[in-house]
Chains A and B, each alone.
Chain A
């Protein structure tokens, strides 16, 4: 099994939607999460507040420096995410497709780096 981050691409623009439409989206997303939990593949997930609620901490200098806002203003912030644990990319893409349809926004699928203890025999870097 491999864990994948299924992330909402950008902050979805829900402001223009009616309360009924918003409610429908919440219900649809909730249904997919329930299915994923029942399938035993849902690790964790949820929606995120936008850039207005974001804070940056940078401790590279040795002292944590706290600043307001996202690190890079130009980069689209992640609107929410789920972490799922499935057999392979095809299965991850199937679930990501369901999340995308439910929340009405594209999803980015990224594998977590393998647990080194569970890794298959490695080989040297080639070419």
Chain B
């Protein structure tokens, strides 16, 4: 093995194991700062030791043990200064994991702490990426276009609130699980969409948030294998991500109907379809499962013309019963246009209070084009271009506007 491979392998192990190490220590010592600092120290030791001795057979276990010893060392040092802490140390030392919820995994406790509703949403995202995903503060700051000190402060404040307000480190009770899980899934979906909407990676050092979200969704799936919404979210992310390579061509966004379907990732699609089938068999539908099913219908069609729009519309009807908001209604209108015609869809879109949303203008522009109202379509394309910050989408919309007759 050459050194470059070693470095990559180390980086991958650290990132994969970081959440596990921090979660285990946070549970054991009840303090995120102690857990993070000890995990960081263990990584430093690992870099030196593994370079000389090679990577141990169970690197995650090695890191957890080493970090645990580092944390104990630190507590012993501090306890010398205060005899009372010695007693605290004796109590916290080597406590076995307590059964506090339906699932016994420290990482699961950690994700529910990171995504606690008492924390501001932007802090939930940052904390989850930092503590569970093992991303560094500079990486998270870059990914969200936030200055590094500001991102550092956001994370520090959130950790301080966890500590001061005693936000617990536990899996919620079964009765609270659905609502609390929603908050966790929302964080993962937001992370994915930040990566997905940002489009092409313009900076080679930028973290790929879509990949990170899929990794988090896979962890959740592993931890909560019987929660259909977790399976649904993972399926949704996989089926969306499968089309990544075909979404852009020459710096321009390519809509679903024009995408080169040969460029879609078949293995991701098959994995996503299997999850959707599993959800259908479980028959406890939810928002993410329905969105996944819609994407399954799209990825099932060999050509855009083969799309089963009746099925898509039926799924949007189901989604609208769960989420009667205007954004779902807008997406449903796209299916209505295919089933009942663009004039029917336009009547729906016109009533939606989404005049500041670029997708509303873009959808309206396409519908106006199809019913032959070119002058109005042109104005809507302009409004859509003005409302989006995404250069690839602007390029696409500008071309569509030019093609108007």
A interface residue numbers (CB < 8 A to B): 2, 87-90, 93, 109-111, 113, 117, 120-123, 126-127
Contacts and interface: CB of A to CB of B under 8 A. Distances in A.
B166 A88 contact: yes
Contacts of A127: 152-153, 155-156
A89 B118 contact: yes
B301 interface: no
A118 to B, nearest CB: 9
Nearest to A94: B176
8 contacts: A88-B167, A88-B168, A90-B172, A120-B30, A120-B92, A122-B78, A123-B37, A127-B155
Contacts of B31: 120-121, 123
B168 to A, nearest CB: 4
B281 interface: no
A70 to B, nearest CB: 26
A2 B85 CA distance: 19
Given A93-B118, A111-B164, A120-B88, A126 B33 contact: yes
A117 B88 CA distance: 11
Interface in B78-117: 78-79, 82, 84-85, 88-89, 92, 116
B165 interface: yes
Interface string B150-193: 00110110000000111110101000100000000000000000
Contact of B88 (A2, A113, A121): A121
Contacts of B153: 127
Nearest to A113: B164
A2 B166 contact: yes
A100 to B, nearest CB: 15
B46 interface: no
A34 B150 CA distance: 45
B220 interface: no
Contacts of A126: 33, 37, 156
Nearest to B180: A90
Contacts of B79: 121
A121 B156 contact: no
A87 B118 contact: no
Q: Name the residue in A87, A117, A126 with the highest tally of chain B Cβ atoms < 10 Å from its Cβ.
A: A126
B33 A123 contact: yes
B75 interface: yes
A121 B33 contact: no
B362 interface: no
Contacts of B37: 123, 126
Contact of B85 (A89, A93, A109, A121): A121
Contacts of A113: 164
Nearest to A116: B84
A87 B33 CA distance: 21
Contacts of B377: none
B34 interface: yes
B168 A89 contact: yes
Contact of B165 (A87, A89, A117, A120): A89
B290 to A, nearest CB: 29
A93 to B, nearest CB: 7
A56 B280 CA distance: 64
Interface centre among A88, A90, A93, A110 (most CB of B within 10 A): A90
Nearest to B137: A127
With most chain A CB atoms within 10 A of its CB, the pick from B92, B155, B164, B166 is B166
B75 A89 contact: no
A109 B75 CA distance: 31
A117 B84 contact: yes
